[in-house]
Amino acid sequence: MSKLTKTIEPKILIPEVKIKARVEEMGQEITNDYMGREITAICVLKGSFIFYSDILRKIDLPVSCEFLGVSSYGDKKVSSGEVKVTLDINDPLEGKHVIIFEDIVDSGLTLAYIINMIRSRRPASLRVCSLLMKPEKMRIDVQVDYVGFKIGSEFVVGYGLDDAGKFRGLPYVGYIEQGH
């Protein structure tokens, strides 16, 4: 049993090797799509920090790093639709080729909020890259240009994703079995 999880050990949904391979593919895809340009890569905190640091090292382009803190859930498992900005981006985004890196798109409400906020700063282009997506739970029409894995409606943890602050350090994406 891992020291990170103490009593509950999540079940593996996406193993570490699969994440690694897919992250590498996505990084290459972004490299090809943006060839010859410089990108501004926004890490949406907190959940995306592990995905972000891994994919950045697979993107062979000049990259400017920005960090945006948002909180939409509190400790609940259902999106409130209310997004709180906990850390804003200070540098101007006008004229930049911006890519937003998300850990997961669930209802899409958080992402829709972030897209509106970034668009108002007039970047030259704006795309979204998310490691995970739950198509059945989408409640709003938002475009995600790069998707790592489409998953079901289950609540997942690990590889940056948390359940009430726990499990972020797991190397895989897992879920907690009912009954815990």
103 given a catalytic annotation: no
Q: Copy the structure tokens of residue 131.
A: 């490691």
Question: Is 155 one of the binding residues for ligand IMP (CB under 6 A)?
Answer: yes
Q: Which stretch binds ligand IMP (CB under 6 A): 26-34, 49-57, 97-105, 120-128?
A: 97-105
| Binding string, residues 91-110; x marks residues near Mg ion by CB under 5 A | ------------x-------
Q: How far is the CB of 166 from ligand IMP (least distance, A)?
A: 11
Q: How far is CA 1 from CA 8, 155, 161, 171, in A?
A: 9, 21, 19, 14
Q: How far is the CB of 36 from ligand IMP (least distance, A)?
A: 31
Asked whether 90 and 66 are in contact (CB, 8 A), the reply is no
| Binding string, residues 41-60; x marks residues near Mg ion by CB under 5 A | ------x-------------
Q: For residue 40, which of 90, 113, 83 has the smallest C-alpha distance? A: 90
Q: What order of strands is seen across the sheet that includes strand 125-133? A: 84-87, 63-71, 39-45, 97-105, 125-133, 146-150
Which of 91, 106, 141, 162 is catalytic? The answer is: 106
What residues are annotated to the active site? 106
